[in-house]
Amino acid sequence: MTKKRIVIFASGRGSNAEAIHDAVASGKINGEINAVVCDIPGAGILSKAEEWGVPAILADRKKFASREDFELFILQAIAPYRADLICLAGFMRLLSSTFISHYENKIINIHPALLPSFRGLHAQGQAVAAGVKIAGCTVHFVVPDMDAGPIIAQRAVPVYADDTEDTLAARILTQEHPAYVECVTLFCDDKLQVNGNIVTING
């Protein structure tokens, strides 16, 4: 099977991107990372991309007058890479329905909560504040609504009485990496099927 062409979008340190990179390098994921897109100058992901020898596209949101211009720039910049899959890995921008329509069912995201609970920012802090006893992460296909879209996989972790947003985030992160790698692996092996809101895994 032909290797899938992957473009990663990230805004920060890039530990999920690194997990995907490592799984590509080891041959677990039947794909190749063709480019990285980042919206924050100086973000850790940019040095990681350089280390990997992967082209990095910096789209500094502040340099664009509107979201339309920002997204158009990204669409044009990634077009030559003919992505089969876009992985949002800590990408802190909401993509418009126009952008998403160019890559329908080809954009996936990881969110540090058991969706549909705790969408948006500080999901781990929201979980601590709500007093839930189980938290986790969700990998899902991206739709225009924030942190919504067909769920591919979730992993759970316990929440302890003395947890803070940071301690819970660290525990969830240990599950994010294998969860994201598992989902990208399934995607690249053509094993994911989406019917409405339901994702089924073939085979």
- What span, in angstroms and rounded, lies between the C-alpha atoms of 169 and 95? 24
Bond into 150 cis (ω within 30): no
Q: Is 14 annotated as a binding residue?
A: yes
Nearer to ligand GRF, 52 or 72 (CB): 52
155 assigned ligand-binding residue: no
- Based on the residue annotation, tell me whether 111 is a catalytic residue of this protein: yes
**C-alpha to C-alpha distance for 135 and 164, rounded to whole angstroms:** 13
Instruction: Find out whether 15 is annotated in a ligand binding site.
Output: yes
> What is the CB neighbour count within 10 angstroms for residue 25?
12
**Tokens representing residue 192 in the block:** 């994911």
Instruction: Name the closest residue to ligand GRF (Cβ).
Output: 90
User: Which residues on adjacent β-strands are paired with residue 57?
Assistant: 37
> Closer to ligand GRF at the Cβ: 115 or 186?
115
Binding-site ranges for ligand GRF (CB under 6 A): 10, 12-17, 89-90, 110-112, 137, 173, 176
Catalytic pick from 111, 122, 140, 177? 111
The annotation status of 34 as a binding-site residue, yes or no, is no
Q: C-beta of 2: minimal distance to ligand GRF in Å? A: 27
Per-residue tokens: 54: 């992967």
CA separation for the pair 146, 162 (Å, rounded)? 29
**Which residues line the annotated binding site for (6R)-10-formyltetrahydrofolate?**
67, 92-95, 109
Q: Any idea which residues carry the catalytic annotation?
A: 111
